[in-house]
Amino acid sequence: MSIRWPRVLTPTYLSQILQLEKNPLKALQIFREAQSRYPKYQHNGPVYATMISILGKSRRITEMKDMIEQMRKDSCECKDSVFVSAIKTYADARMIDEAISLYRSIPQFNCINWTESFNTVLKILVKENRLEAAYHLFRESSYGWQVKSRIQSLNLLVEVLCDKNRSDLALHIFQEMDYQGCYPDRDSYTILMKGLCQDGRLHEAKHLLYSMFWRISQKGSSEDIVVYRTLLDALCDNGQIEEATEILGKILRKGLKAPKRCSHRLDLTRCNNGEDIEGMKCMIHEALFKGTIPSLASYSAMSIDLYKDGKIVEADKVITEMQDRGYRPTPAIFEAKVEALCKDSIIEEAITVMEEDMMKANCLPTAKVYNIVLKSLCNEGQSILALDYLNKISKKSVCKVDEESYSIVLEMLCRERRYIEASQLLEQMSIKSYWPCADTFNSLIGGLCSLGSQYEAVMWLEEMISQGKLPEISVWDSLVSLFCDLERMKVSTETLHRLSRV
């Protein structure tokens, strides 16, 4: 790309130039050349952020690390997001210790708030099952003014302990929140309630409910239905039907502040001897619903939670009632329904929800919703169907597909060795300036070599190198083998031709 340098260079203009350059090494060259051309020019935080992001996305980790060090020496003001980007790059490259080291070095930079970086590192450590390191990191960072909110990180720790069936430890963290200068929010109660119920710790779950009454539910928020339903369902599954109905009465009075007409006793005759537990739970859900003031928040909370639990039929009933009362389903509700249908491999119905139901509700499907369906099709081994569907929706002006949408299908085509279709899809992506990662390039080029498609293989190799991405040695080996085979075929053909004329 030829650069048209302006008379006076500004950081904003340089950032735009860097973003247009697809080769990260050329972008780095432009970045360095700017100061030599304009002695009075100084890079600022946004320019460094742009360059660090470009190098990180292309996995130029050494150059990215040098750029971060240069930013530190320049002492220009930088935002937390710069470190978040670099930390994620390190994590993707399995360089967890480097990610932690970068986080610990943030005080050396001109950055006054690193809450997002803290939460990012904490999530990485939790994902890697390095809980002790996460604990020490939390202890070190939880008292400084640079980390503005600790409730998100505490909820994260509670959630991972619950996922590991250690709700007992999660409960201890929950009880320590007051001493950390923060208070449990609705997410805290939702996460811990599910963990306690999954572990069968119903006694502690009931006490958690009572603490919620005077702390979170003082005004009778309808969004609390999710937490109440979790406990009541667990009690029913455990055979504690009468206790569930008793607690339901307390929830209606104290939690939801329901009118007296809603505080009716449930008919337990169908549930004698533990029969029809699911029917009982449906009755409880209905009572909870009637006990709250109808609102978009209450319908959304209940329906999304039911979809997440795979209770599609029951969630659909909530949506029907919601629409009868004049409320429109939100994009989040449709997203939850599509995801639930795809989990049950009911992909055709999920597509119908996107193409018909969402349109009727004046909700445009987002790229996130499309990607859920595309991933499900690929996971079901239907990459060609996914490709056809991607081509179909990409032609519609109202559809929003993004780079991830194409990447999902492209990677699956390569995994299924459908390299011709993958090459054709990459041609479509190139028009939109969407490019795959180095691993996908390597897989595609190697696959094309195995099919003898030397022209396409060389074309994508040249494109890969032009973007500063390094081909693997195996790719070069495949190309050498391909051209050697072609040369042998050429010699054999010429020999046969000569023999035929003898």
* DSSP of 184-226: --HHHHHHHHHHHHHTT-HHHHHHHHHHHHHHT-TT--GGGHH
Of 255-269, 372-386, 387-401, 485-499, which gets the smallest average pLDDT? 485-499
Q: Report residue 299 as tokens.
A: 């319908």
Phi, psi of 77 (to 5 degrees): -65, 130
Domain ranges for the chain, please list them: 1-128, 444-502
Least confident of 89-103, 276-290, 358-372: 276-290
Q: Is the pLDDT of residue 194 over 90?
A: yes
CA distance 358 to 350: 11
Which burial class, exposed, middle or buried, applies to 493 when counting CB atoms under 10 A from its CB (0-12, 13-18, 19+)?
exposed
Q: How far is CA 14 from CA 35, 346, 372, in A?
A: 11, 49, 37
Specify whether the CB–CB gap between 247 and 209 falls below 8 A: yes
Q: Would the pLDDT of 255 be above 80?
A: no
Q: Are 259 and 185 in contact (CB under 8 A)?
A: no
Which of 98 and 173 is assigned the larger pLDDT?
Answer: 98
Percentage with pLDDT > 90 across the chain: 33
Q: So what's the pLDDT on residue 270?
A: 55
Domain 1-128 matching CATH 1.25.40.10: the answer reads yes
3-state DSSP assignment of residue 469: coil
Q: Mean pLDDT across the stretch 205-227?
A: 77
The region, left, alpha or beta by phi > 0 then psi within -120 to 50, assigned to residue 194 is alpha
pLDDT band at 495 (very low <50, low <70, confident <90, very high): very low
Lowest mean pLDDT across 227-231, 262-266, 355-359, 370-374:
262-266
Distances (CA, A) of 331 to 262, 354, 369, 408: 30, 10, 9, 22
Mean pLDDT taken over the chain: 84
| Banded pLDDT at 496 (limits 50, 70, 90) | very low
Helices (H), 416-453: 419-431, 438-450
Residue of higher predicted confidence among 475 and 420 = 420
Average pLDDT over residues 23-47: 90
Residue 260: pLDDT band with limits 50, 70, 90: low
Is pLDDT above 60 for 497?
no
Diameter over CA atoms, the chain: 107
Using the predicted structure, report yes or no on whether residue 354 has a pLDDT greater than 70. yes
Closest C-alpha among 197, 227, 194, 222 to residue 211: 227
The three-class DSSP label of residue 306 is helix
The token pair at 198 is: 């999954």
Residue type, 195: G
Average pLDDT over residues 237-254: 85
The whole-number pLDDT of residue 420 equals: 94
Helix 186-198 / helix 151-163 crossing angle, nearest 10 deg: 10
Distance of CA 343 to the CA centre of its chain: 16
Average the pLDDT over each of 238-247, 443-452, 492-501 and give the range with the smallest value. Answer: 492-501
At residue 395, the pLDDT reads 83
AA letter at 270: R
For the ranges 14-18, 221-225, 272-276, which has the lowest average pLDDT? 272-276
Q: Is residue 377 over pLDDT 80?
A: yes
DSSP annotation of 365 reads P
242 vs 493: which has the higher pLDDT: 242
Give the H/E segment covering residue 309. Answer: none
Q: What does the block give as tokens for 431?
A: 């028009």
3-state secondary structure of 242: helix
Region 362-389: what's the mean pLDDT?
90
Q: Residue 176: what pLDDT? A: 78
411 φ/ψ angles, rounded to the nearest 5 degrees: -65, -40
pLDDT above 50: residue 453? yes
Q: Which amino acid is at 324?
A: D
How far CA 414 is from CA of 49, 287, 407, 421, 425, in Å, comes to 33, 51, 11, 9, 11
pLDDT of residue 422: 95
Across 136-140, 314-318, 410-414, least confident range = 136-140
pLDDT computed for residue 499 by the predictor: 38
How far apart CA 312 and CA 26 sit, in angstroms, is 52
| Reported confidence tier of residue 491, pLDDT bands at 50, 70, 90 | very low
Q: What is the mean pLDDT of residues 312-318?
A: 89
Q: What's the confidence (pLDDT) of residue 85? A: 92
Q: Is the pLDDT of residue 139 over 90?
A: no
pTM of the model: 0.75
pLDDT at 275: 64
For 493, residues 6+ apart whose C-beta sits below 8 A from its C-beta are none
